Amino acid sequence: MLIELLFYAVFLGQIFLVSVYYPRKIINRNRYVLQKYPASEYPKLYLNSYYADPVKVIKKGLRLYAVLNGIIAIFGLGILAAMAMSGYLPSTIKESEDLIFVLFFFALQMIPHILMELSSWRWYKLMREAQTSTTRTADLKPRRLFDFISPFFVALALSLYMAWVVVYIHAHKDVSPWVWNQYVSLIGITAINLLFAFTIFVFIKGKKTDPYQAKQDQLKHIGAVVKIHVFSSIGMSLFLIIMELVNVYRLDMFEPVFMGAYLQLMTVFGLGTMLRSVNIKDIDFSVYREDVSPA
């Protein structure tokens, strides 16, 4: 009974956090910008090479984002209601091989956030295309990884990744020969960590996504990206180690709870870190005025 209650609590928390709380913060953040920094006074913020009415497009996108998150939240509550009414026991999810549904629902929850991110990426691409200035600036001081995060966390991320590799190989040492999914696990997790490292490198060494962004705001954004990816690597390795121990000690009934809690923590370290690190009220919007040169 305790496992069932824990699962319902964790799943409800996941619905609220991913499909209600953070979407509301993101929508309020964008509405604040639209109201506080209108196109009439900050034209460069809405400069675009494709849309005739950029403000209308933004508002339409926010409405779609809100509707999608609302539908997914209601769908999640419906799943829980169906479980409760049918007498389905969440503690048997792993045993019944239904664990994929936990990951499926989280993936479904992430769709509006991914669409929002892709929309933002395309917006900045069009903004760069519409930029008429040919002036380019570069920092005299090169940006380095440890300008944005403590070496301790980088070392911790590397150590935990290597610890997971050791634990994984040890846990599967009696399986001979290995089957394809065991190789895929090792290669896949290694590839994800390499992708994290590559993304960090691109943001530190690459050009600004927003061509008008003030230098200090750019540094804050880079810092948030670096922290998100390093902390995600740490969290992923810890979770994988815990899952291996769950399998070794046959605690399968707790696996859905651990997975739900992990997905929420990754959301807090992902979306949460970005929103906390880049406070909308601290951004220098003066660079988007007509009479201000690009930073």
Residues 6+ away with beta carbon under 8 Å from 135: 293, 294
Q: What pLDDT was estimated at residue 154?
A: 97
Contact 6, 255 (CB under 8 A): no
- Which two structure tokens, joined as six digits, stand for 74? 């209601």
- Which two structure tokens, joined as six digits, stand for 191? 């590839």
Residue 295 lies in a domain: no
Q: What pLDDT was estimated at residue 256?
A: 86
Q: Which position has the token pair 């999608």? A: 68
> Total structural domains in the chain?
1
Residue ranges, the chain, pLDDT below 50: 292-295
Q: What pLDDT was estimated at residue 129?
A: 82
Q: What pLDDT was estimated at residue 138?
A: 57
How many other C-beta atoms are found inside a 10 Å radius of the C-beta of residue 93? 23
Residue 120 lies in a domain: yes
Amino acid at 289: R
Q: What pLDDT was estimated at residue 292?
A: 46
Q: What pLDDT was estimated at residue 294?
A: 47
Which domain range does residue 12 map to? 2-133+143-288
Q: Give the closest residue to 101 by CA, choosing from 23, 176, 7.
A: 7
Q: What pLDDT was estimated at residue 151?
A: 96
Q: Which position has the token pair 């200035």? A: 133
> Angle 255-267/100-130 helices, nearest 10 degrees?
10
Contact 226, 145 (CB under 8 A): yes
Residue 293 lies in a domain: no
Dump pLDDT digits (tens) for 39-77.
989 998 888 767 778 899 999 999 999 999 999 999 999
Tell me how far CA of residue 85 lies from CA of 36, 78, 131, 145, 239, in angstroms: 47, 10, 57, 52, 31
Residues 6+ away with beta carbon under 8 Å from 237: 157, 160, 161, 163, 164
Q: What pLDDT was estimated at residue 202?
A: 93
Residue 33 lies in a domain: yes
